Structures are given as structure tokens and as C-alpha cells.
Structure 1
Amino acid sequence: MTRFRAACCAALAFATLLVSACGSGTRQGDGHGDAQGRGGTTLTVAYAEKTASAAEETFAYCVPKALGLFSKHRLSVNMTYNDGSTAAIQSVASGSADLGFASAASIAAAVDKGVPIKAIAGATTFWPYRLATEPGSPVTSIADLKGRKIGVISLGSASYADLVAELKSAKLSIDDVHVVAVGADTSAAQALHSGQVDAIDTYRDAYTFLEAQGQRFAYLPTPESTKDLFSLTYFASDKAIASRRQALIAFIQSSYQGLIWSYTYPSKALQLLYQDFPKLPGANDPTGSEAKITAIQMQAAIDGWVPQTGQKDATQWGAWEKLPDSRWRSLLAWAKDTGQVQGTLAVHDVWDGSLMAEIYDFDAAHTVALKSV
């Protein structure tokens, strides 16, 4: 059994403990979601992160709540913290949450193990992970990593899988390097800058956050094998897809509308984020340096969800989150190639696109014209 396979199995085995420790509380803000949605349907959403940040909660919670989109659908939305994709999947599979966000590869790995879930809508539209070194480092290519120490978020993370794939592109294996778990952003940067590791593999939002603080990195070339990959994806249990279909559609539709509005009015979106999450950096001084860094983080999260076509007019994006089967096939092949999936999965085993037509049943131009309530 490879170290990666062992790490995944261990992560799944301990997912219940992780959910118990990190996924039982609602997010800070207004507690149980949209008060105006009471009397309708309560929906619990599992996020694959430990704490609130200036990321998906902006456009998938704060903005649609403030625009009255949850109220329109009579939704009361609860948000839960979860320690990564594995814990978010366990939360949904156990019925603690109705739907969640998780890495597409983690969803495939869970389906491969028999967990009754499926991806139901797109989220991030590109592969966010990449390798970086110190500027001026002698490591300038993937091949140069041989014999070096590489920092990853954790041994069960997508960054570990990305490292496996990156090494393979240079005809290296995970056994040709020394892997160190260093976390995602600040701790990863400290490990790199202190010389604890020679390179780190983490996601773009982390680099954006660190660079906003003045830190600098040299990025290694990204292999061609990752160009069709994507990461964060909406998923739900088979049971919820059958029994809570309309509520799932309403929430995801609202989040897509929230994304369009946040992309169009980022300063206003930041204000709404601070209203619900007043403990985020910069909330007490919206014009200060901390608020500027939070705004950069928020924009990086938004940019990760929008179409990668260069189209600036959000009303012209179309059904951008309806990822084609070809990209799912690339993702599944990559997941198997990196040891996350052992069996042979078809696209329909992990992806249920039947909700997408109703999710996109909204007017983008009307969304842009909405005002917060």
C-alpha cells in the first residue's frame, strides 16, 4: 500500500472524529442562517475548512442572504466547519449536512470506497495547486526536486496527490523525495523560508494571501496533465439528491447568483462579508492594511470560481459551472493514476448533472441589478 493510499484510508477512518471536533457548530454570524427563511426549508451546508475566511462564504452565504435569495426560496441556511474534504464528506454521508463542498478527487475516492454521494454542481473551475520554491533557489524544475524535502498541506491532502502527479511528469516517484506535512499558508511559508523544506505544494489562494503580505515565491512549471483538472465541487448524498432536490437546487442557484453579484461588486460583497463575520481581519478598519489583505483573499476565491475565458461581463458567462464529461474523465484518470482511486469509475458514478438545468434557471442581468435588503 502506498503512503498516499494509507493516508487516505486513515483520513476516512478518522473522519467521524474530525467532524465531531470541527463540524458540529454553525458559522459565526447570525447563528442559524437567514431568519426570513424560517418556516420554510432548513439546509445544512458542510464547508471543507476549519474556520471562517474570506472565501466561498462571501458569495455562497453572505451575499445571497443579503440579496434576499434565500428568503425567496424560503431557505434557512446553516453552515458547518469541517477539517477538510474528508470530514465534509463524512458529515454529508452521515446526514449531519445536506450538501457540501469538497475536492472532486476526494469525492471520487469516497465513491470508490462505497460512500453513497455524488457531485452535483461545479465550484472551482481550474486546478489550484502548484509547487513553489524560494526565489533564487537552485530548484527550477520538477526534476530538480529529486532528493529534496517537499512540504505539503497534509499526507491526506490534494496537495500530496498533486505532488505525486507532478513528480510523475518528470519520471520521478514519491519515494524520490522527502515529504513533510507543513500546513497550507503561513506555516507552509515559514517552513520554506526557514529551510525546513526546499519547496511547498499548496493552493493558489494561500500564495495570494502570502504575497499580499509581501512574501515572494518562485513557481515551478505546471505539468500539462493538470490543465483539465478542477478541485472544489458541490456534492450531496444520494438520499438528499432524491429527497431534497429542490432545496439543493435553490441553494446552489443562489450561490451562483451570489458569485455573479460579488464579482460585479466586490467592495459591496466585502462589506456584506464583514456584517456576517465581524471577526475577520480588517472588519474594524475597512480601509486598513488588514482589510486590503482580506479583500485580496476574497477576490482570489471569486476568481477561482469564475469561467477561465477572460469574459469580464458576468451576465455573459452562461452555464459556466456545468463542467463537461471530458474534464471529469481527466479528473478520474488522474485520481486513479495518483492512487486516490483503486477501481475504475465512470463519470456517472461520481457526477449527477441532472440538477444543472434548474440551477441555471435565473436571469444573470436581473441578478446584477439586485440590491441588498
Structure 2
Amino acid sequence: MSRPFCRLSSSFSLVFGLLFGSLPALAHGEETVTVAGWSQPISEITNLLAEPDKGFFKKQGIALDYVPGTGGASAIQTMLTGRADVAFTDPASFYHALDKGEKLIAIYNIYPQNVFNVVAPKASGITRPADLKGKRIGVYSLSSGTRQNLQVLLNQAGMGEADVKLEVTGLLNFAPLIQGQVDATAATDTGLLTGRLKGLPEVNVIEVKDYLNVPSDIFVVTEQTWRTKKPLLTRFLSAYRDSAAWMIAEPQEAAKIAVTRAINGRDEAINLEVIKLRNLSSVSATTQKAGLGHFDMALMQQGADAFTRLGIISRSLDMSEVVKSDLIPNGAAQ
């Protein structure tokens, strides 16, 4: 892990503590589960941030903690350094880590729908991946899903990162695009929504899901954790599933809670729109049949095969060996 990221995480630990609430000392029998996030505590993860208000994890005997990050790859790195038990990451970062030899298991499909995109001004004429050649493109960070999914689009046009110029613009930051500092920006559905609400002019949007609809985010643990902490992880997933089901059923309540719990949650109306988008990405044909959190194995394998075929990773990966649904509780959310 780089020193700048260490400083970023440390600086947000106090902020997150204030937003998350002053948690009491662990009650007898409670076990701590620390989630390494890809982001700061933002409104789209209100179901996690609402723990002091709703207590989904406490009901399962879990004291929840959260370490902010700067992308899916940083979430995995935080977990691998022992600072977290679970990584809130994306399939692309998962594939990359597996390709490097890390022993990891994906245990829960957080957002089955791909929400990544590339946004460009209408006047730019950028409407398809091939149009990105030679352009300056903003990404959230060099360890983020925005960068990984941009690679997918570039490869669709027979290009790589050497054919464009990447610019790190930060989370939900469309200012460089509006000011002409970049020609296009890699973003997400919620980022685009926020940008539009803040005055982003008319844009063209290239949706990654139109080319490869792999999930946006997944929970990943080390193989060691999966083998040795199954009861704890089952309780964690039960609590997370219940929190996700609550946010789907009660988006208005979640939007109100986000005002005090999310660092970008000052506007309740914007919170509601962001939460509605994230709720849509939490369900799929597979989850409607099997329940929240279940994977479409064919899609996960399709994503891994595409990354191998496109040269983004160096070897074939067998998803049946590293994607497991055995810890997802049976039955409906409580």
C-alpha cells in the first residue's frame, strides 16, 4: 500500500467515526467485522452507514467497522494488509488480484448490474469506444473501478491505456470535464446523476454494460478467512442482505439518514435519487430467483474470459473455484 493512501485512510477514520456514530464498547459476544471500502462514506452505501440507526449488524452479534478507500483495488490491498476482513470491491480488481496470485474468494454479489460509464460533452462527438483514441479521460483514481471498466471499453475498440491520456479527477468530480481539462470522464450512474444535478451540460454516455455487463461491486475475502470464519461471515452477509433489503423497501428513510451519515448527503432529495439508482443495481434476474447477493456464474466467467482475451489479465481464471454462494443465508431478509 502506498503511503499517500495510508494517510488518506487515517484522515478519514475520525470523519467516519463522527458520521457512523460513537459506537459503544463491544457488548459481550460481539465480534468486529471491518469492511474495506472502495469509497469514502457516501450516500450510495447508506445501508452500511445506517448501522447506528438500524442495527442490522448488531442484531447478528457484529460490531461493524469501515475503512474508506480510493477504489476497488485499494479495498483489496487494505484487506490483504490485515486492516480489514472483507473487501467491498469490483470484479475487475478481483480478476487482477487473482491474476497476481492472491488467494481470494468472492462471497456476495452486491450490485449485479454494471453501473460504470464514460461521459463526454455532446459537442465532443464521442459516442463509442473508438472515439476515445488520443483523448484525455478522467478517472476517479488509478486503483478504481472507473479505470478498470474504461480498460474494457478501450479494448472493445482494439486500444489500451497507451492510446489515451488518463487524468485522476477524484470521486464524483465532473468539474474538469465541464472546464475542458479532460475530453471525457469515466464515471458511474450515481456520479452522472450528481453531475447533472449540479449543472453538467448535455452529454453523451457510453455504458459499459452494453459491452460487458459484469457486476459493479462484490464482497471478497481471503481464502483463509473464508475457510476459518464461515459462521461469522454468514452472520455478516445476513446482516448486509437485511440492510440492502431495507434500503430497497424504505428509500425515503434511507435518504433522510444519509443527511447525517454520508459525507455527501446534505441534500435529502439528491440522496433519494442516488439511493434509488443503487437499489436498481442491487437486483437482477438471478437475485429475483435466488435472493439478494447471489451470483450469475456465467456472467462472472464471461467477465474473466473477456479480461483474459483482451489481455487485461495474463491467464485464464476458473470462477467456479473462487466465487462461492455457500455463505449467503437462505430465506427472505428479516
- TM bin (shorter chain): 0.7 to 0.9
Does 1:202 find its partner at 2:187?
Answer: yes
Task: Tell me the secondary structure at the aligned position of residue 136 of structure 1.
Answer: helix
Q: Which residue does the alignment assign to 2:153? A: 166
Distance 1:222 1:97, change over 3 A: closer
Q: Which residue does the alignment assign to 1:112? A: 99
Please state how far the C-alpha of 1:124 moved relative to its aligned partner: 1.2
Does 1:23 find its partner at 2:9?
Answer: yes
Does the aligned pair in 2 maintain the 1:92–1:99 contact within 8 Å?
yes
**Structure-to-structure mapping, 1:96-111, within 5 angstroms:** 96-111=83-98
Q: Which residue does the alignment assign to 1:226? A: 211
Q: Which has the larger radius of gyration?
A: 1
Q: Which residue does the alignment assign to 1:135? A: 122
The letter of the residue matching 1:21 is R
CA RMSD in angstroms comes to 2.8
Q: Which residue does the alignment assign to 2:34? A: 44
Following the alignment from structure 1 to structure 2, what is the Cα–Cα distance between the partners of residues 99 and 224? 26
Following the alignment from structure 1 to structure 2, what is the Cα–Cα distance between the partners of residues 76 and 264? 24
Gaps of 5+ in 1: 1-14, 283-289, 368-373
Does the aligned pair in 1 maintain the 2:20–2:50 contact within 8 Å?
no
Please state how far the C-alpha of 1:83 moved relative to its aligned partner: 2.5
Kindly, what percent of the aligned residue pairs are identical? 21
The letter of the residue matching 1:326 is A
After superposition, what is the alpha-carbon deviation per residue over 1:253-304, rounded to whole angstroms, capped at 9, x for unaligned?
21111111111111112233345x276542xxxxxxx222233223333332
Gaps of 5+ in 2: none
Does the aligned pair in 1 maintain the 2:90–2:216 contact within 8 Å?
yes
Following the alignment from structure 1 to structure 2, what is the Cα–Cα distance between the partners of residues 343 and 174? 19
Does 1:363 find its partner at 2:311?
Answer: no
Does 1:126 find its partner at 2:113?
Answer: yes
Task: Tell me the secondary structure at the aligned position of residue 236 of structure 2.
Answer: helix
Distance 1:87 1:180, change over 3 A: closer
Q: Which residue does the alignment assign to 2:43? A: 54
Distance 1:193 1:344, change over 3 A: same
- Per the normalisation by structure 1, the TM-score is 0.78
Does 1:300 find its partner at 2:269?
Answer: no
Q: Which residue does the alignment assign to 1:71? A: 58
Does the aligned pair in 2 maintain the 1:125–1:308 contact within 8 Å?
no
After superposition, what is the alpha-carbon deviation per residue over 1:27-65, rounded to whole angstroms, capped at 9, x for unaligned?
23355647675532121111111x221022x113415x5
After superposition, what is the alpha-carbon deviation per residue over 1:173-192, rounded to whole angstroms, capped at 9, x for unaligned?
44443333333422xx2222
Task: Tell me the secondary structure at the aligned position of residue 363 of structure 1.
Answer: coil
The letter of the residue matching 2:325 is G
Task: Give the stretch that moved more between structures: 345-354 or 176-185.
Answer: 176-185
**Structure-to-structure mapping, 1:178-217, within 5 angstroms:** 178-186=165-173, 189-217=174-202
Distance 1:326 1:32, change over 3 A: farther
Following the alignment from structure 1 to structure 2, what is the Cα–Cα distance between the partners of residues 348 and 308? 20
Distance 1:258 1:35, change over 3 A: farther
**Equivalences, count:** 330
The letter of the residue matching 1:354 is D
The letter of the residue matching 2:149 is D
Please state how far the C-alpha of 1:136 moved relative to its aligned partner: 3.2
Following the alignment from structure 2 to structure 1, what is the Cα–Cα distance between the partners of residues 233 and 22? 17
Following the alignment from structure 1 to structure 2, what is the Cα–Cα distance between the partners of residues 280 and 257? 24
Please state how far the C-alpha of 1:16 moved relative to its aligned partner: 5.2
Following the alignment from structure 2 to structure 1, what is the Cα–Cα distance between the partners of residues 247 and 308? 36
Following the alignment from structure 2 to structure 1, what is the Cα–Cα distance between the partners of residues 240 and 194? 23
**Structure-to-structure mapping, 1:216-255, within 5 angstroms:** 216-222=201-207, 226-255=211-240
Q: Which residue does the alignment assign to 2:308? A: 336
Following the alignment from structure 1 to structure 2, what is the Cα–Cα distance between the partners of residues 204 and 179? 20
Distance 1:22 1:148, change over 3 A: closer
- Per the normalisation by structure 2, the TM-score is 0.86
**Structure-to-structure mapping, 1:265-284, within 5 angstroms:** 265-274=250-259, 277=261, 280-282=264-266
Task: Tell me the secondary structure at the aligned position of residue 122 of structure 2.
Answer: coil
